[in-house]
Amino acid sequence: MEHEFDVCSRLTDAIEGIKVSVSTILTTMEVKEEPTCEDLKRWMVALAKNQVKGLEGVGNIVAEVVMEMHGLESRIKGKDREIQGLKEELESQSNVVKAVSQSKERIEIKASSKDMEERLKISLTQFKVMDVEIGKETEDRKELISKGLEEIKKKVRSEHKAEWEKLADGVDVIPLVKKSMKQSGSDKYTAPFLFTVQERNRKWRMEDILRGSKIYPGFHWPQEMMTVLKGYKSVLKDNDVNEDTTYVRIRPQERDGRIRIRADVKPKEGNGRFTAKASWEAPPLDAEIRKRAKDHLKPTWASGGRA
């Protein structure tokens, strides 16, 4: 701004100087009543010199302005290059931040999925028995377990009672409710129980004995899996699995220390066997991370399934 003001001021002074000189000569010409040819010649030369000198001054100032404009243009181009460089650097840093964020996201998803795997490995050691008659209303934990086990043992087929007692000895059993309750439309007090059996062969045999005694054990999913299971069933439905005509069984499987969740299907009519339909990797345990891991519901289809 200071430089611009100086240029304007100098131009104004130069033009004003021309005006003053011209005015002085014209005044002189007007005052003299009978100018000679020599006077006229002298005045004309003075006017010409004045004009030339004044215009030279203005021209010099304009030349300076032009040179300054060239310099300014070069500086602007330099600044443009700096700005472009800064933009490229910012874009590069943005890509680094994005890559770090994506890496962090993958690590969080993987860690949370590992947590779910550990929960599912525990579930593979468990089974639950629903609606076991207790005979009374009670919230005494020891009484619930005692009466529940007694009722289950009573229903086990006689030829398997001794084996059942041996298998059940030392097994961790807990009620899944705080107190026994009446089922809708019934006067009997019941409670569900969860069995945890670390040895798989022992667990499988206990389940076989129960099924042979018309007591049907169920799989106990971690609570965090309940919403995910609905998602799996929705995926299967979108791929032409109709639960009105088809049995759907979804269970985790462990192989080489890793968990996959497998869906098997079979028609409700006839004596067909369950066949593999799809499988999934263990989803993240944390619900918020699951929302960000959009692919956790994407299955691997078994042969014959939809790709």
Separation in Å, CA 68 to CA 2, 5, 6, 61: 14, 14, 13, 10
Separation in Å, CA 102 to CA 99, 155, 264, 291, 292: 5, 56, 34, 15, 11
Supply angle C-alpha 208, 224, 131, rounded to 5. 40
Output phi, psi for 83, to 5 deg.
Answer: -65, -45
Separation in Å, CA 60 to CA 7, 51, 94: 11, 14, 50
- Identify the CA nearest to 118 among candidates 301, 292, 284: 284
SS3 call for 189: strand
> What was the pLDDT predicted at 219?
96
For tokens 């609606």, what's the residue? 131
Run means of pLDDT, 10 residues per run, the chain, 307 residues: 60 72 72 72 74 72 75 78 79 74 86 96 96 94 96 96 95 96 88 96 97 96 96 94 94 93 93 92 94 90 63
* Ranges assigned E (strand) in the chain: 126-133, 172-175, 181-182, 189-196, 246-255, 258-267, 275-281, 300-301
> What was the pLDDT predicted at 287?
93
Alpha carbon distance 173, 145 (integer Å):
7
What's the length of the chain?
A: 307
Helices 141-155 and 161-168 pack at an angle, to 10 degrees, of 150
